[in-house]
């Protein structure tokens, strides 16, 4: 089983992606979207409660919220790990995953 990873950063949205690059972009989009901001899909994204938490607590909550959201909205992957790096009070999640069809 091949393991991939994606860093949730400021990579710009690209159109026309396919395969693993499309999946990575979808994961970035899921985690960068604040729940309630997507019209017609208000439950999409991450709960905004993480925003106002102290950094260590926010990192832990972000891991849980990201795992839950990815499992719901990107069903082609199985998340194997999520590491939240802290850079000057900025949370930078790295998601490790495998494709479900490769299991």
Cα 11 from Cα 75, distance rounded (Å): 22
Which pLDDT does position 103 carry in this prediction? 52
52 burial (CB, 10 Å; 0-12 / 13-18 / 19+) is exposed
Q: In tens digits, what is the pLDDT along the chain, a chain of 103 residues?
A: 899 999 999 899 999 999 999 999 999 999 999 999 999 999 999 999 888 899 999 999 999 999 999 999 999 999 999 999 998 878 999 999 999 985 5
Which pLDDT does position 102 carry in this prediction? 58
pTM above 0.85, yes or no: yes
Contact 74, 23 (CB under 8 A): yes
* SS3 call for 93: strand
Structural domains of the chain, ranges and CATH numbers in brackets:
4-102 (3.10.450.40)
Which pLDDT does position 52 carry in this prediction? 86
Which pLDDT does position 89 carry in this prediction? 77
Which pLDDT does position 51 carry in this prediction? 85
Tokens representing 85 are 């790096």
């Amino acid at each position: 089983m091949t393991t991939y990873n994606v860093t949730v950063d400021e990579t710009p949205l690209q159109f026309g992606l396919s395969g693993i690059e499309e999946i990575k972009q979808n994961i970035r989009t899921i985690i960068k979207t604040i729940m309630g901001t997507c019209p017609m899909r208000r439950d999409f994204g991450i709960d905004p409660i993480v925003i106002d938490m102290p950094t260590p607590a926010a990192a832990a909550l972000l891991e849980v919220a990201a795992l839950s959201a990815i499992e719901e909205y990107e069903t082609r992957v199985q998340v194997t790990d999520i590491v939240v790096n802290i850079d000057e009070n900025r949370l930078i999640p790295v998601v490790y995953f495998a494709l479900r069809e490769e299991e």
